[in-house]
Structure 1
C-alpha cells in the first residue's frame, strides 16, 4: 500500500512537471566561438567564446560516421523511444542496486541534452524526474535530428573543449566530416566521462572503450573485418592541436562588424592566403633591419571584386602593433597618392625617373606643405622624392 501511494505521488509530480515546466528557449543560451573559413570551407582562424570555451557555432548536419558511432555507444534506440527509454532505466536501476551505488544513469541522448541545457545540476531523483519530463516534452516539439545536433554541438570533451566540431579540430586537426571510423568512435566515447578519459590520460581504458565500440560498428555491418583491423591500428590522440591562425585580422574585423559568434564563410582562397601570409612575413623580416616592422597585403579578383587573400599585418616579433589591421587603418592620403602621382607623371612624360625636382618651401593659398622631418633639401631626384 505504501509503495502504491509513493508511486502515485511520483506519477502526479511527474505529470505536473510535464505540464507546467516550460522548455528552455533557447535550449542553450551560451556564447560561441567565431570561426573564419575560406571559400572551400578550410578553417583559417577562430576566436574563443566569451566564456573561454572552444565552442564552435552550431553545425548544419552530423557526419554519418559520427552519428552511427554515437548512437551505438550512447543510445542505440534513439530514433525509437519518445525521449525516455524504460528498458534502459530499469537496467540502470538494477545495476545500481546490485552495485550498491550509482554506476549507470539510464539516460537517453535526449535526457543528456536536457541535462546539459539545465547546467548539469546535481544528480537527484527529483532532478531525474525533471529531466525525463522535459525530455518527453522536447520530443513533442523538436525533431530527433535537431535534438541530436544540439547534443553533438554542446557535449563536453574535457577542459574547455565543447562540441564535436571544436573537438575534431583540437584532437585531429580536421573537420568532423573528414574523420575516420576510429576517430569518429573516439569522439563518440569522450563525452561519456571526459574528466577520466582524455587524450594523453588513462590510455589503456581509453583504447579499450574505443576498440569495443569499433567491434560494435563491425557487428552492425558498417565496416568489414579488414577495416576493423586497420581502424584498431590507428593511434589515439595524445595532445591538443592548435587552432589555425591565418587571416586573423579579417576575423576580428568581421567580429567588429557584427559577426561575433558566427561561422564566417569568406571568399578567401586558402592556398593563396597562406602564400600571401608567407611572402608578407618574409618581406617584413628583411625590412625589419631598416626598422620597418609592419607590412600588409590584400589580393583582389578584379573581375568579381572578391577578396582572395587578406594579411592585415606581419607577425614580426616585439611590440610593434602587429595586432593593428593596417588594411583598415587610417593614414595620410598624400602618402597614398604619391606612387600614383609619380607613375602618372612618368606616363605623361612630365618628369624623368631621376629628374631633379625642387624641395623648397611653398605656399598654396595659406597652405604650406612640409616634409615629415620639417627640413628641405633643395634639388632632389624624382625617385628620391617619392621615397
Structure 2
C-alpha cells in the first residue's frame, strides 16, 4: 500500500516548497489521451501586458490560458481583450474592485474586513455583468484577490468560499504550496502556485512532481513581460509552452474552466468507486451511511477495492476509520455490511468510538463476493465530532479478516 501522503521537496530560488501528494488507493486519474497531468496558466488583474505580448506569445504555441480580470482595468484596452477572447482564451472573474485586507494600506478603502457576504455577492455578479457587457462572455471561474477567502473581522469573520462554490465553476487561490489533486480538491479552493519572476528551470520541478502524481498544476501570475515586479517572464513562457507541447512529456495544457469541467465529468462518472476520505453527516432521515469510499484505511496492508466498494485487510495491524459531524447527540443502532469466505470466517473484530466498544465475530457471508448486512450493537454519539474505528480483535498470521463495505448508523426510535 502506498502512503496516503508523500512529501517531495523542491528547491526553487533558494526556497523549499513542500509538495504534498495524495496517494489514495484509487486508479490513476484518467487525463485525456493518456496524458500524465494537466497545466493551467492563469493571470490576474487584467494587466496591460496580458493581451500583448502575453496572449500573443501563447497564441504562437496554440496554448490557451485563463485571464482573471477586474473590469475597470480591462476597459483600458477593449480591442486587446477582444483579441484575447477571439483567440480562445478564458476570461475569469477577479472581483469588481479587487478587495484585499485593509492591512494593505492601498486596500484600506476596499478592505475585506468591511465586507459582508451580501456585498461580496452583489459585486461578484456586477463584475460578471460588466465583463459580459464589455466582451460578450460571462465568467465561469474566479480567482480570490490576494488569495484571501474571508470577509469581516474578528468574531464577525466569514468565509466566502461557499459563495464562490455557488456562483462559479471554480475558485483559485494564490501562492499555494501544492498542485491540485483532481480526485480530492474542492473546486472552490483550487491551489494556485506562483510563476511570477521565475525561470523555467525553477518551474520545471513543480511540473515534474505534478506529472509523477498525475496532478493538475495551476500556475498563477500577473504581468507578462521581459522584466519587472509581479511579472511572468516571456522567456519562461516560451520554454514552458514548448515543453508542454512535446508529446513525450504527457502534458495537457488548457484553461482552468476547461480542466475543471473535465475533472467534474470524470468524478461524476467514477462516483462510488473512489476512496476519498471525508467527514460524514446524517441524511435528512437521520441515518448515517459510513461507506468504504469515505473511510480512511490505515495500516501496512489495508486495501480499498473499487470493484467491490469495500476495504479488505490482511493483518491485525490494519484498521478503518470514519469521522462524523453530528448536529446533536444521539443513540444509534450499528449495522455492518461485510463479506468473508467460510474458510476465513470466525475472526473477532472491534468497533470503537471514544470509550465505547462493540465486540463481534466475523460470521460467514457465503463467499467473498456475497455481502451481508447485520446489526452488531449500539453507540451513543456526541454532538459535533466523532470517530469510529473498525479493527481486528486479535492477532492473526494468515488469511484475512473480512471485506468491509459500509457501516450504517440508524437513530434509535426511527
TM beyond 0.5: no
* Higher alpha-carbon Rg: 1
TM-score, normalisation: structure 1: 0.29
TM-score, normalisation: structure 2: 0.28
